[in-house]
Amino acid sequence: MNNLRPALGIFGGTFDPIHYGHIKPVIDAAQQACVQSVAMVPCHIPVHKNHVPSATKHRLAMLRLAIEEYPQLYIDEREIHNSAPSYTIHTLRALRAEYPKHPLCFFIGMDSLHSLTKWHEWQALFDYCHFVVSCRPGIQKSVSSELQQLLNTRQVITNNALHNALCGKIYLADTPELAISSTDIRQRIQKGLPTEKMLNPNVRAYIHTHKLYQASTTF
């Protein structure tokens, strides 16, 4: 027994648009990690991307539609309404202050694990959260020596370890590989290619109604 509270999940992203490659792996990974609720945290200004995201109101509206059927997911709007660039470390510090006794599990895809050592204050992230990692296709199998070292010291095989400590572990979930990305979806919409298998139908309808991602549209 420990005196920790139930673990809280956090899943950050640009979600422009939110797609099945976000939702399905995170639902599976949360189940495997035994995390009952996950905050979806859309970022305001992504710090790792060149793409200028769609308007806040659209990304939020699509997120609301996409999570409707998943009671374990909810939206945390703290980053999207903050005019500063979205650094995960700042969000985690704020969450830790609010939830001092809850393990925090930050959900990422395998591509994000590969680039983790480039994140702002990346080493400090482990003082605030665990990482729960979903599979993502197209990611090289070999890892950098820095990442290998990180895995050697922090990887845990069972989900118990995520609930017995507030932070500091890496858990690799075994999730189905979905070859979906927001970039590809935006390009497909511009070219008039199908997106049915990638997007929730209500999100597709929203994109259509608001004419998002079309070549001549500016927001």
Residues in contact with ligand ATP by CB under 6 A are 13-16, 21-22, 25, 49, 51, 108-109, 111-112, 134, 136, 178, 180-183
Q: Which is nearer to ligand ATP, 27 or 164 (CB)?
A: 27
Instruction: For the CB of residue 65, give the shortest distance to ligand ATP in the complex, in Å.
Output: 16
Q: Which is nearer to ligand ATP, 25 or 103 (CB)?
A: 25
Q: Which is nearer to ligand ATP, 159 or 181 (CB)?
A: 181
Percentage helix, strand, coil for the chain under 3-state DSSP, each rounded to 5: 35, 15, 50
Kindly give, in sequence order, each residue whose CB lies less than 8 Å from that of residue 88, ignoring residues fewer than 6 positions away.
Answer: 12, 106, 119, 120, 125
| Beta bridge pairs of residue 105 | 9, 130
Short-list 115, 110, 108, CA closest to 12? 108
Q: Which is nearer to ligand ATP, 3 or 118 (CB)?
A: 118
Instruction: For the CB of residue 202, give the shortest distance to ligand ATP in the complex, in Å.
Output: 18
Tokens 């903050």, located at residue: 82
Instruction: For the CB of residue 2, give the shortest distance to ligand ATP in the complex, in Å.
Output: 28
Instruction: For the CB of residue 195, give the shortest distance to ligand ATP in the complex, in Å.
Output: 13
> What is the torsion angle, in degrees rounded to the nearest 10, for the CA atoms of residue 109, residue 84, residue 146 and residue 114?
20
